[in-house]
Chain A
Amino acid sequence: GDSVTQMEGPVTLSEEAFLTINCTYTATGYPSLFWYVQYPGEGLQLLLKATKADDKGSNKGFEATYRKETTSFHLEKGSVQVSDSAVYFCALSQIQGAQKLVFGQGTRLTINP
């Protein structure tokens, strides 16, 4: 079945550092790919998404590019802030907008001032 693998956490960085969180997937066909963020005590919020190969999703300074050849969707940000501290989830969906999301295990990110 479909699966998503994220880099092991937790990740701790200093403010203004460059961030990469790796995400690879195994799936048939051409799934849609997502990054969700969960701030402490809150639910999940969609951070960005991409629906086809070579698409780049971006939001709030975060970017991720759908790489079909490497089955990857790595999350990057050029300069992180303390407010970016959260848990980040990579996910895929086989049918656009449908009800079934497959999540990675999540990566906890802590940014120190």
Chain B
Amino acid sequence: NAGVTQTPKFQVLKTGQSMTLQCAQDMNHEYMSWYRQDPGMGLRLIHYSVGAGITDQGEVPNGYNVSRSTTEDFPLRLLSAAPSQTSVYFCASSYIRTGGSYGYTFGSGTRLTVV
């Protein structure tokens, strides 16, 4: 299994450009989420999804859109890139099973620079 796959690994954008960060998982996990990692601030939740067709905002959603048309895919769209969105972005998937077992899997990240 590939786990959680993020593309691209690196990206440079100009201010005002739009782009989509891709995230795909092959573990049939119900939940998927996007985080951004900034120095000294840990990881902060941007958006999350509890299943296909259902999304919700996290702690820092402004400037980002998401959709979940399939269980496998959860793309993150930057509508009009700003320098404040320079960060490392991580996608994660997670599950809950009957009996309480659960787990998270993170992708390897996308390093985005907005100039």
Contacts and interface: CB of A to CB of B under 8 A. Distances in A.
Interface in B58-115: 58, 90, 92, 94-97, 100-104, 106-109
Chain B at the A interface: SS class: strand
13 contacts: A43-B90, A43-B108, A43-B109, A44-B106, A89-B43, A95-B96, A98-B31, A99-B49, A99-B94, A102-B45, A105-B40, A105-B41, A106-B42
A24 to B, nearest CB: 14
Interface of B: 31-33, 35, 40-45, 48-50, 58, 90, 92, 94-97, 100-104, 106-109
B100 to A, nearest CB: 6
Contacts of B101: 97
Nearest to B33: A99
Nearest to B3: A43
Interface residues of A, number: 22
A103 interface: yes
A17 interface: no
B31 A99 contact: yes
B100 A99 contact: no
Contacts of B100: 51, 96-97
